[in-house]
Structure 1
Amino acid sequence: MRTLAALGLAATLTLAACGGNDAAAPQKKSELSLYNDKGAWSKYFDGMGALSKQQISLSMKPVGYTDSAQYQAFIKASFRTDVKPDLFTWQTGGMLEEIVKQKQVADTTAVWQEAIKAGDLPQDLAPYYTVGGKQYCVPLNVAYWGMFYNMPVFEKHGVKPPTTWEELIKAADTLKKAGVTPFYHTSVLFSFVWFEQLMAGMDPDLYDRLSTGKAKYTDPGVVAVMDKWKELIDAGYFVNAGDKTDPADLLKTGKTAMVSFGTFFNTSMTTRSMAPGKDYGFFVIPNVNTSLPKTSVIFESGPLCALDKAADPAASMKYLKWWTSAGAQEKWASSRGDVSANPKVTVKDEALNSITKDAGSGKYRLVNRYFEATPPPILSAALDGFGKFVSDTSTTKEVLETIQKAADEYWSTHQ
């Protein structure tokens, strides 16, 4: 009996070993997992999973995280473990390049070529997804950054959406005198927002040089940006940077009149039963430097990726291809009330449609969001530094020198 048991165990182990080898080979899947750092969007992902099952016989189950740092740590750890996502969200720029170089991301060049030819993706978006001449991932979403504002608050105090920087500051003064805090900012994660906005509106060429190591954070132009930022903070235009209240709640209650965010923030408004064009509006933030030929608009696009060694590569690629289609994007954009990467798709919000159309026509100078434009090691130092600065504006010199130290270390080995 012991011999038979031993033989049975050996056979089981042999079959398990064979099964392990087969597991490394492509498997046929009818449902894919989509890990993401947008836990609040679960119902929208669920809707897309139901639609994909209907249209391409391939469903999708979202696994959402709400903490960005924990999510990034999980995805990077999954590269070395057996718990792997079929699909996952990420970021462009240095973070995408990092995992591409680790050979973890599936090549989507063919998907891009077909989508561009069909008019489902714009050619201008491809560079943000290109590493070493090839494309990786597809756009989960696109976003243009501007200012969301509380319309009833503006109307009550006789304030109109500004078209110049001078008008924006005049509006802030009016609101502040009326007891309304003009702007939102934070000391965590999104601490970079006003730095990028001011720099893009003062010297976008310097912004580009800074992101490629051709300029220093201690340069006079960067110091000037920090001085302008300090001026706004010291004037009392911002909420307490340590306030943990969701910016959408601050805007809805009128405690803050304006919030600078990407068009994806529209979803936060609609989920709070706020109506665009009635409860809130959106305008492009004017340049500080009026001599610039075009208004600078911060732009970002978040990737939806597949692993290079996915459990079912064909299914993952099929899903990414479907995701870029007009049928999929119509659902994705309309459900969230946001813009789409697919030029064929429009949304009901007139202001968002307008910026999408204008951005695509070349009216604005599109500036890659700081979070994606800045290499990760420098970004980490900058986020900490800006978080410190918004809490204590006397730290400008210390903050910039600390960020530049991280930049020197990074660019000394990266050209």
Structure 2
Amino acid sequence: MSHRRSTAIAVASVAALGVALAGCSGGSTGESSGETTGTLDFYTDKAAWKPDFESLNVTSEEATDISLKVSGYSDANQYDAFIKQSFRTSQTPGLFTWHTGDSLKELVDQGLVAETTDIWSTAVDEGWVSADLRDSYTFDGAQYCVPMNIAYWVMYYNVGLFEENGVEVPTTWDELNEVAATLSDNGVTPYYQTSQLFTFQWFQHLVASTDPDLYTGLSTGEVSYTDPRIVEIMDIWVDEQDKGWFSDPGSSTDPAVGLRQGDYAMINFGTFFSGNLAGAGAEAGTDYGIFAIPAVNDALPATPVAVESGPLCVAESSPQRDMGLAYSEWWMSPEAQTAWNEAHGDVAFNPQAEVSDPILAELGTAIASDEYMLYDRYFEATPTPILTVALEQFGAFIANPGDPMPYLEAIQAEADAYWADQE
């Protein structure tokens, strides 16, 4: 389960939205009306974000004469089913949130979402978005959808624990290991871990920052999980486990509370975690800081950073197709992303946007430089059947660390079955 599945209360029921969709067909042929201004119907699985989206209407109306009519789902599975069903009606959404990876590819392969290549070309040329991020939205050389938001998977750290133990933010893998060793020697647990849900992030960083091509090969089936290079990387994790560098994986303490109160010094999480820390009473810069995790392989030309991105898509057959694309084009601009950040927080995919949190702003600017390269988070990069097994096996390894081969063999067995079905 990804961060997108952590939304709160529903603002509209499945039944109500289904009736609304069926009842507003109005005899439409499913072709775009050609209108590029007006009220744009927007469906999202981010029900809790409804006020944030609606707050942009003042800005978008002034800039584009478009405002959003937001309908939100809180149950991601029901939302996915609703969106897929809508493609069989004459009233497909003018704009909707979706997911990158296989989920987006499925819609693209069926011709269900509108192409956004021109929008992306302009945004990249204007310096509004990283060319690396475009890769997550590229299929057969064309782009589809635009990023709703992004989250970089980085390291959060307890400022007080770093200061008390005389360690500084590391810039190399060796320095990170020295920090962990010093903290451990002083009785401080270096890293947070859990055997539930978020079990993949240390694996993704170890592999991707050792060899990005090796990481990509896992997602395409060209590399086996039992490849000696993967086993060797897993041995790094085993060694760190043996040194006692990770927290109790079964702890029920909220991870944000745990970091704030010093149960551990560091936690590898998406930048949306800043909101969790604020909710736990932690203050940016005073209680916690953030840094991009150094690469295992310091010979890489740039440090890999995992990115989680949620798309905004336009249905190809929607009567509001042209309006949805017009809004998507505006959404990529610094003006739109500044307004969105003010409403919602987190980092901005557009480096020219103003970010209210100075720590996130500094991080976003740094990662937008040539010193870093983005890669898709393991959750989106991995086909769902393989992911399901991998999350379970990584969790089992975290709970009972030891010889990594049995866990890797279990994942590879599922990978073999999956890729065989794709032939």
- 5+ residue gaps, structure 2, are 1-21
The alpha-carbon deviation at position 374 of structure 1 amounts to: 2.0
Aligned partner of 1:327 in structure 2 is 335
Aligned partner of 2:161 in structure 1 is 153
The aligned amino acid for 1:381 is V
Distance 1:59 1:175, change over 3 A: same
User: Which of 179, 192, 215 is equivalent to 2:200?
Assistant: 192
Asked whether 1:229 is paired with 2:237, we answer yes
User: Which of 38, 44, 64 is equivalent to 1:35?
Assistant: 44
Aligned partner of 2:27 in structure 1 is 21
Q: Secondary structure at the match of 1:21?
A: coil
Asked whether 1:109 is paired with 2:113, we answer no
Partner Cα distance (2:292, 2:326) in 1: 37
Partner Cα distance (1:111, 1:379) in 2: 31
Distance 1:18 1:31, change over 3 A: closer
The aligned amino acid for 1:302 is G
User: Which of 90, 98, 106 is equivalent to 2:106?
Assistant: 98
Contact kept, 8 Å, 2:341 with 2:356, in 1: the verdict is no
Q: Secondary structure at the match of 1:410?
A: helix
Distance 1:18 1:242, change over 3 A: closer
Distance 1:25 1:350, change over 3 A: closer
Contact kept, 8 Å, 2:256 with 2:277, in 1: the verdict is yes
Q: 1:392-403 to 2 correspondence within 5 Å?
A: 392-394=400-402, 396-403=404-411
Distance 1:313 1:378, change over 3 A: same
Distance 1:56 1:159, change over 3 A: same
Instruction: State the TM-score, normalizing by the size of structure 1.
Output: 0.83
Aligned partner of 1:343 in structure 2 is 351
Partner Cα distance (1:79, 1:256) in 2: 47
Q: Secondary structure at the match of 1:408?
A: helix
Aligned partner of 1:380 in structure 2 is 388
Distance 1:61 1:261, change over 3 A: farther
The aligned amino acid for 1:382 is A
Structure 1 residues 363-394: Cα deviation after superposition (integer angstroms, max 9, x where no partner): 12433322222223322222222122222224
The aligned amino acid for 1:22 is S
The aligned amino acid for 1:220 is P
Distance 1:309 1:132, change over 3 A: same
Q: Secondary structure at the match of 1:249?
A: helix
Contact kept, 8 Å, 1:381 with 1:403, in 2: the verdict is yes
Distance 1:244 1:65, change over 3 A: farther
Distance 1:293 1:306, change over 3 A: closer
Partner Cα distance (1:238, 1:373) in 2: 25
Contact kept, 8 Å, 1:49 with 1:61, in 2: the verdict is no
The alpha-carbon deviation at position 218 of structure 1 amounts to: 0.5
Distance 1:401 1:253, change over 3 A: same
The alpha-carbon deviation at position 226 of structure 1 amounts to: 1.9
Contact kept, 8 Å, 1:34 with 1:60, in 2: the verdict is no
User: Which of 371, 386, 400 is equivalent to 2:379?
Assistant: 371
Q: Secondary structure at the match of 2:28?
A: helix
Q: 1:56-67 to 2 correspondence within 5 Å?
A: 56-64=64-72
Instruction: State the TM-score, normalizing by the size of structure 2.
Output: 0.82
- 5+ residue gaps, structure 1, are 1-15
Contact kept, 8 Å, 1:270 with 1:337, in 2: the verdict is no
The alpha-carbon deviation at position 175 of structure 1 amounts to: 3.4
Partner Cα distance (1:375, 1:162) in 2: 33
Out of 95-104 and 192-201, give the one that drifted further: 95-104
The alpha-carbon deviation at position 165 of structure 1 amounts to: 2.7
Distance 1:58 1:150, change over 3 A: same
Q: Secondary structure at the match of 2:209?
A: helix
Partner Cα distance (2:191, 2:107) in 1: 36
Of Structure 1 and Structure 2, the greater helix share is in 1
User: Which of 262, 270, 273 is equivalent to 2:270?
Assistant: 262
The alpha-carbon deviation at position 61 of structure 1 amounts to: 4.5
Contact kept, 8 Å, 1:188 with 1:387, in 2: the verdict is yes
Partner Cα distance (2:86, 2:397) in 1: 35
Structure 1 residues 252-299: Cα deviation after superposition (integer angstroms, max 9, x where no partner): 233232111233333333455543222211112122334444433223
The alpha-carbon deviation at position 304 of structure 1 amounts to: 1.3
The alpha-carbon deviation at position 209 of structure 1 amounts to: 2.2
The alpha-carbon deviation at position 62 of structure 1 amounts to: 4.3
Identity %, equivalent residues: 45
Partner Cα distance (2:199, 2:23) in 1: 50
Aligned partner of 1:359 in structure 2 is 367
Partner Cα distance (1:330, 1:153) in 2: 33
User: Which of 296, 299, 314 is equivalent to 2:322?
Assistant: 314
RMSD of aligned residue pairs (Cα, Å):
3.2
The alpha-carbon deviation at position 328 of structure 1 amounts to: 0.8
Contact kept, 8 Å, 2:221 with 2:419, in 1: the verdict is yes
The alpha-carbon deviation at position 202 of structure 1 amounts to: 2.6
Asked whether 1:249 is paired with 2:235, we answer no
Q: 1:63-74 to 2 correspondence within 5 Å?
A: 63-64=71-72, 71-74=79-82
Aligned partner of 1:87 in structure 2 is 95
Q: Secondary structure at the match of 2:313?
A: strand
Aligned partner of 2:7 in structure 1 is none
Structure 1 residues 291-336: Cα deviation after superposition (integer angstroms, max 9, x where no partner): 4444332233321112223352233222212211221111122444
Task: Please say which structure displays the higher CA radius of gyration.
Answer: 1
